[in-house]
Amino acid sequence: MVDIKILRLLIIDDSPDDADVTIATLRKAGYMLKSQRVQDMASLQTALAQGQWDLILSEYNIAHFGAQFALDLIKGSDLDTPFIVHTKKISDADLVQIMRNGARDVVLKAQSARLAPAIQRELRAHRDREIFRKQQYILKETEDKHRAIIEGSREAVCYAHEGMHIDANAAYLELFGYESTEELEGIPVLNLIKKDDHQRFKEFMRKKAKNSAADLNSEFEAVKKDDASIFIDINILDINHKGEDCTQIIFTDITKRKAVEKKLQYLNQRDPLTGLYNRHFFLQKLGAAVEKAKAGSNQSTLLFLDLSQLKKINENAGHAAGDRLLLLLAKLFREKLGDQAVISRFSGDEFAVLLPDQGEKQAKKTAAGLETTLKDTTFTESGHVFKCSCILGKVLVDENAENARQVLSQAYKSCAVSKPVEALDAKMAVAPTGSSPQTRTGIKEAAETSIDAEWQHKIQQALQSDGLELAFQPIINLHGDPADYFEVLVRMSDGAGGLIPAGEFMATANATGQILDIDKWVISHAIPALAELHQEAHAATFFINISKQSMADSSVPKLIHQAIKKAGIDGYHLIFEADEPDLTSDPVASGNFIRTIHDYGCQFCMDNFGQGFGDHHFLRHQAIEYVKITGSLIHNLTNDKVNQAVLQGLTKVANALGKKIIAKFVEDAESLSLLWDLEISYVQGNYFQQAEAEMSFESDDETSETTLSSEESAPTWANN
């Protein structure tokens, strides 16, 4: 029996006696009844309006009324109450008609034993229908929520059946440039994938269907309605959509990320001025060539060129002229050596060329032709004519090669044979010729004991004779910001054509107070250099280091203000930076300096953020736009869980304070991946580009030799 406490029963019958018999029969069957009898339409309407009924029993034949009228009234009231005809007699035709109209059963009063089981069945069926309707409602509600989420999602989502579009959300239509889902219906999803990726896409979908695509690359190049290309990452799921088994495909637009990756790859491989390969990438290629030769494959040849005229041109005509010479030579090397040659700017005035699969005879001919071309090429600047002569060394990379370092050493020696003797003496002399080991040891000890005095003298000479040079290292935005950011660094000439990094002399400069003069020199040269870039339509931004001494000296802000006014630039493109310990050790002086340079429109960056982890009072209360994470946290980041945890904490603090975060000293791809996950916006380090004396920018003039975009090797992002 149905588990029900009280059966609310409405009886439609003009015979009270028959109604009483029905009630007695049901009570005998175990039902507790709450019943009412009606016999005309008016009383039925009243009963339906005033109560909720579990079941309706109706006599078929009632004068001027009957079961058919009652059933029509109940159906018109949109009620799902079980309706059973309980009658003395009924014809077969009427029975068929009433059942078709919606009666759940017909039970003759002479067969009252059938009544209780019929009622029990219909009550269960009614309960099942109620449960079904509730589940339908829940399902619809869930589907509506799912639809709202999908429609409001930034992710592009489509639904496909047997590879054909059947539905898509607004983000998907926007991504691919379609107006409505009707446009997509009947179009294969494959049509939106670039033809070169068709086979790989089919393989991915096939293996994904078998849950075996975990190790497959899910990134593809796609095609929009207007044939423009975009890069996407996809994820698929088999679902039921609108009652139909289909595949849900989520498309994530990774075009910006791919552009950043491409830019980072370019910066990691190329010299920013010439577009030639840099030292880091060239050494990889050379190492691969050595291994290939040792394995008995074809020989290669290494050419090493020392540009003997560059220092003279820089001194007499300026660094801009030297840059133009480098670009001229880069173009000449490409034209002369061809696409197979791996050409690099190995250092400031040195080039290295790998000639793959060229043996000694062929390489000798190539080198001779290059030497002849260089001798015949001249460079005119400011009325002066310079020869493009280079000192060239040549080394065969064969099975006898040990490694890349050994091959390079041979190339250096090969170049040294061709260099003037006096130049070699100037670089190689350490102790007087013929001195005894004891004498040379004494010289070394004397040098060590007077190192500070020597550095002080060298710094003073550099300041007086313009022996300092600016170097620039790019700061890269990982999220596609097209603006160009550079940190301005300082180098000292070693007197023999080389440059000494700041790390070797800054400790002495700090100790002697010469750091103040170095800061002023950098400010006086960096701001005009920035103005020149802006005049050439390169809206770069410079990060300029400032010392504790300079922040406490009132003449420095005045110098900055005068330089900005004279250069006619917007101070917004100047960001001064100082170490966190220097800022917090004298908060009054540093706070005054920060407020003053903000009055000039400049911005400020806290360097080495994290050295004072746990105390952010200064950062919280000063107008500091950027923070650079201390390099000690980035070193060995991938293997140091403590550094990762500290870095995550610092990132949360900086983000909470609204600061833009820069990670410096990034040296490998693994660290970059972790920094990306931490949502750090800016990165800097030798993984992207070492500090160089030159910067390069794209130009609208395709014939200009001073831009990367005019070179064949320039990447597509250089034109964005």
**Does residue 161 have a pLDDT over 90?**
no
Of 121, 18, 23, nearest in space to 62 by CA:
18
Q: Is the pLDDT of residue 203 over 90?
A: no
User: Which of 153-157, 328-332, 409-413, 542-546 tops mean pLDDT?
Assistant: 542-546
Q: How many CB atoms lie within 10 A of CB 291?
A: 13
Q: For residue 422, is pLDDT > 80?
A: no
652-681 average pLDDT score: 84
Asked if residue 59 belongs to a domain, the reply is: yes
pLDDT band at 694 (very low <50, low <70, confident <90, very high): low
Asked if residue 204 and residue 128 are part of one domain, the reply reads no
Q: Which residues touch 200 (CB under 8 Å, ≥6 apart)?
A: 217, 220
pLDDT of amino acid 594: 95
Sign of CA dihedral 173, 176, 180, 185: negative
Does 361 lie in the same domain as 325? yes
Give the CATH number for residue 486.
Answer: 3.20.20.450
Contact 171, 155 (CB under 8 A): yes
pLDDT at 700: 36
Taking residue 633's Cβ as centre, other Cβ atoms within 10 Å add up to 22
In a domain, residue 586? The reply is yes
Is residue 684's pLDDT more than 50? Answer: yes
Q: What pLDDT, on a 0 to 100 scale, did the predictor assign at position 93?
A: 92
The C-alpha atoms of residue 626 and residue 577 are separated, in whole angstroms, by: 9
pLDDT at 451: 42
Taking a C-beta distance cutoff of 8 angstroms, is the pair 259, 720 a contact?
yes
Are 234 and 338 in a shared domain?
no
- Residue 186 pLDDT: 81
- What pLDDT, on the 0 to 100 scale, is given for residue 147? 63
CATH of residue 222's domain is 3.30.450.20
* Residue pLDDT, tens place only, 238-249: 877 766 788 888
Q: Tell me, what's the pLDDT at 143?
A: 66
Instruction: Output 298 or 449, whichever has higher pLDDT.
Output: 298
Confidence of residue 531 (pLDDT cuts 50, 70, 90): very high
How many percent of the chain have pLDDT more than 70?
85
Q: Structure tokens of 392?
A: 């060239």
Residue 122 or 427, more confident: 122
- Same domain assignment for residues 512 and 386: no
DSSP single-letter state for residue 61: -
Confidence of residue 717 (pLDDT cuts 50, 70, 90): very low
pLDDT single digits (tens) 345-394: 887 788 899 998 888 888 888 888 888 888 888 878 777 777 777 788 88
pLDDT tier for residue 718 given thresholds of 50, 70 and 90: very low
Tell me, what's the pLDDT at 553? 93
| pLDDT over 50 (residue 193) | yes
**Average pLDDT for residues 325-329, to the nearest whole number?**
87
Question: What are 255-281's pLDDT values in tens digits?
Answer: 888 877 777 777 778 887 888 998 888
Per-residue pLDDT at 444: 36
Indicate whether 21 pLDDT > 60. Answer: yes
Residue bearing tokens 């190049």: 221
User: Is the pLDDT score of 411 beyond 60?
Assistant: yes
Residue 561: predicted pLDDT: 95
Looking at the structure, tell me whether residues 505 and 613 fall in a common domain.
yes
Domain boundary among 105, 134, 163: 134
Is residue 420 in a domain?
A: yes
Question: What is the structure's pLDDT at 220?
Answer: 93
The reply to whether 487 and 599 lie within a common domain is yes
Please identify, among 396, 428, 460, the residue that sits at the C-terminal boundary of a domain: 428
pLDDT value, residue 73? 87
Same domain for 463 and 420, yes or no, is no
Residue 338 in this model has a pLDDT that exceeds 80? yes
Question: Is 129 within the bounds of a domain?
Answer: yes
Q: Is the pLDDT of residue 89 over 50?
A: yes
pLDDT tens-digit series, residues 217-244: 788 999 999 999 999 998 888 877 766 7
Task: Give the residue, 418 or 290, on which the prediction is more confident.
Answer: 290
Q: Are residues 193 and 312 in the same domain?
A: no
pLDDT attached to residue 557 = 95
Please state, for a pLDDT cut of 90, what percent of the chain lies above it: 28
CATH number, domain at 313?
3.30.70.270
Q: Considering the domain boundaries, does residue 687 fall inside one?
A: no
Picking from 99, 134, 169, the residue at the C-terminal end of a domain is 134
Question: What gap in Å lies between CA 311 and CA 356, rounded to an integer?
Answer: 31
Per residue in 459-481, pLDDT (tens digit) is 998 998 888 999 988 898 877 66
Stretch 423-428: mean pLDDT: 30
Q: What's the pLDDT at 41?
A: 87
- Alpha-helical runs (H) found in 513-575: 515-535, 548-551, 555-567
Q: How many domains does the chain have?
A: 4
Domain that holds residue 110: 7-134
Report the pLDDT averaged over residues 681-705: 58
| Whole-number average pLDDT of the chain | 81
Of 13, 17, 25, 9, nearest to 111 (Cα)?
25
Query: Quick one: average pLDDT of 147-158?
Result: 71
- Catalytic site positions: 349
| DSSP string of 375-435, one letter each residue | HH-EEEETTEEEE--EEEEEEEESTT---HHHHHHHHHHHHHHHS-HHHHHHHH--S-TT-
Confidence of residue 144 (pLDDT cuts 50, 70, 90): low
Domain shared by 514 and 625, yes or no:
yes
* Residue 483 falls inside a structural domain: yes
> Do 462 and 600 fall within a single domain?
yes
Q: Residue 224: its pLDDT value, please? A: 92
Confidence of residue 150 (pLDDT cuts 50, 70, 90): low
Q: Is 93 within a domain?
A: yes
- Predicted confidence at residue 504, as pLDDT, reads 84
Q: What is the SS3 string spanning 642-670?
A: HHHHHHHHHHHHHHHCCCEEEECCCCCHH
Does residue 405 sit in the same domain as residue 496? no
Pick the closest to residue 276 from 301, 305, 309 (CA basis).
Answer: 305
Residues 312, 408, single domain; the answer is yes
Does residue 530 have a pLDDT over 90?
A: yes
Does any domain span residue 623? yes
